[in-house]
Structure 1
């Protein structure tokens, strides 16, 4: 129990490398309404007042939450005007779902809601042997979402991310063609590796990335893609075009990074437990490689789902 409590607290206090790196200008007039609450406050909503599925509504993003699991459904960007907009000003579905497999465990406590004046929301709920936390920012880009899990048995949880029908995962050619190059980062250097992003066919700035911390992607052999490398060879990428799965440690999290932050060369998120937001932001120090638009068919990951 002691170890679980430590993992739980670590997970609930984690800050991702880019989880709060959204530019303040991208969050202008942002803020969420959830369970009838809005404006800066911290409140607990009793179980009897929590619907089985409830909406988190922001100016720039919106999504639904399954109350018993804290799985996320129908995550979308609204397309409301903002100078940091990446949608081209149109409502843009991003994820159909982000679902944790709790293997029989469920959440049944009051929902703790923390809303701030800076477009942040934190939702926390517990159940027997289980704690889930969702953090989000109502912003037009940047690190705007993360989901965290902690289990009393300290085992891992599989998260399944299913993209909206209009979105797809791809092997970013801008990274693949420079794989192995060394680039500056702050007072050191980093080596460029391959990068899997997601995008769509109608917004030239729309790009995102799954951002893990204490989590590993589960390779899918039924979605094996042969991707050409800069040396003339072939890289075997076992990743489907419409879904990804992640094995997340108790105390770990999965984040979502949108826009320019999703295509920068930066180190993995560091483990931190207290006021680590600033040290985990790149603050313009990273090389941004961008992505090709439209994405070539050869770099789109296939099939969409494992057959």
Structure 2
């Protein structure tokens, strides 16, 4: 069940918990997820300990209007089809570690939050921690009207739905941190989809904000990683990466909490009236980010160490993409300051300028 308090979802303690047995072969899990951002379950054996972030994780999908359970996690892969005629306007996705709401007609996301459930890799200090108020795609008149397909196995979730000239997929992991969410639009006309991310507000010290990470700003231009022989010249490679300025997400309550938007075949739309107090090259507001995502591209969300490692951008891939995280432990991790200095926090919260036209394919 989902408890709603003050207009926002709150986690309830699960009473159906059970021991988990890992039964899916790793190769099959790689093929099924094929994520653009590094996911904990896909890490090489040397990084297997990071799976602790997902211990006991698993989702239930609940119709927001009727509270009917549409699907729930199992120890083995289970595929559920919810007929369009039986589908309400919104579905609650409730996990042990994170939760959110999906609007079924366009796959807009609302009220993404970490529940604060205990985990040795918890970033929240066991606090309920809202992150996104919304992630809203603009389909320019197209809608999703087909059946809803839900694939669940342990902490992994894939939800997809199609309409005329449009399909959307959400992939998610119920983990305390890592690469845990991505949204994937695909259009019949091959054009991009604009997605607007808006951070949560009104949550006191756990209210999130975008900031220009000073640990990255201070080392911009340097080459870092296990394969580097020089911070000035690199040479650049998969494990020797030049540092670029980075915008990350933090709050004032949790020293370990850090996150960032993570894109594959997507362009962030500059907002020129934001961020100038930090540096002229930022063009990013304090609460909103805007992205033009290619058809078949991915708009992800990474947290914890994944948000602050110095890695090469994802490859330009829109079909049969494979996760690229075989360099875990060989990349520099720069972290973030806590508390975040006032001079690094981006402002204003939102732009007052009209957005430019959609980026061409």
TM-score by structure 2 length?
0.76
- Deviation by residue 1:239-258 (Cα, 9 ceiling, x = unmatched): 10000000111111100001
User: Which of the residues 83, 94, 105 maps onto 1:68?
Assistant: 105
Q: Which has the larger radius of gyration?
A: 2
Corresponding residue number in structure 2 for 1:142:
178
Corresponding residue number in structure 2 for 1:30:
57
Counterpart check, 1:122 vs 2:158: yes
Corresponding residue number in structure 2 for 1:15:
35
Counterpart check, 1:217 vs 2:244: no
Corresponding residue number in structure 1 for 2:331:
286
Corresponding residue number in structure 2 for 1:78:
115
* Residues 270, 236 of structure 1: alpha-carbon distance in 2 compared, 3 angstrom cutoff: closer
Point out where structure 1 has 5 or more consecutive residues left out of the alignment. 1-11, 228-233
Q: How much has 1:99 moved relative to structure 2?
A: 0.4
User: Which of the residues 93, 104, 108 maps onto 2:145?
Assistant: 108
- Conserved 8 A contact 2:240-2:331: no
- Deviation by residue 1:196-251 (Cα, 9 ceiling, x = unmatched): 00111111111100000000100001214232xxxxxx543111000000011111
Cα distance in 1 between the residues matched to 2:321 and 2:283: 36
* Residues 145, 191 of structure 1: alpha-carbon distance in 2 compared, 3 angstrom cutoff: same
Cα distance in 1 between the residues matched to 2:90 and 2:347: 32
* Residues 248, 124 of structure 1: alpha-carbon distance in 2 compared, 3 angstrom cutoff: same
Name the SS for the 1:26 alignment partner.
helix
* Residues 63, 281 of structure 1: alpha-carbon distance in 2 compared, 3 angstrom cutoff: farther
Name the SS for the 1:179 alignment partner.
coil
- Conserved 8 A contact 1:19-1:256: no
More contact order relative to length (CA 8 Å, sep ≥ 6): 1
- Conserved 8 A contact 1:71-1:99: yes
- Conserved 8 A contact 2:239-2:330: no
Cα distance in 2 between the residues matched to 1:17 and 1:49: 33
Corresponding residue number in structure 1 for 2:314:
269
- Conserved 8 A contact 2:210-2:250: yes
Cα distance in 1 between the residues matched to 2:299 and 2:37: 11
* Residues 281, 31 of structure 1: alpha-carbon distance in 2 compared, 3 angstrom cutoff: farther
Cα distance in 1 between the residues matched to 2:301 and 2:266: 13
Counterpart check, 1:193 vs 2:244: yes
User: Which of the residues 152, 176, 191 maps onto 1:155?
Assistant: 191
Point out where structure 2 has 5 or more consecutive residues left out of the alignment. 1-31, 44-49, 63-68, 202-206, 228-237, 353-361
Task: Decide which structure has greater strand share.
Answer: 1
User: Which of the residues 282, 289, 294 maps onto 1:249?
Assistant: 294
Deviation beyond 6 Å, 4+ runs, structure 1 = none
TM-score by structure 1 length?
0.89
- Conserved 8 A contact 1:124-1:132: yes
- Conserved 8 A contact 2:96-2:115: yes
Cα distance in 2 between the residues matched to 1:247 and 1:265: 23
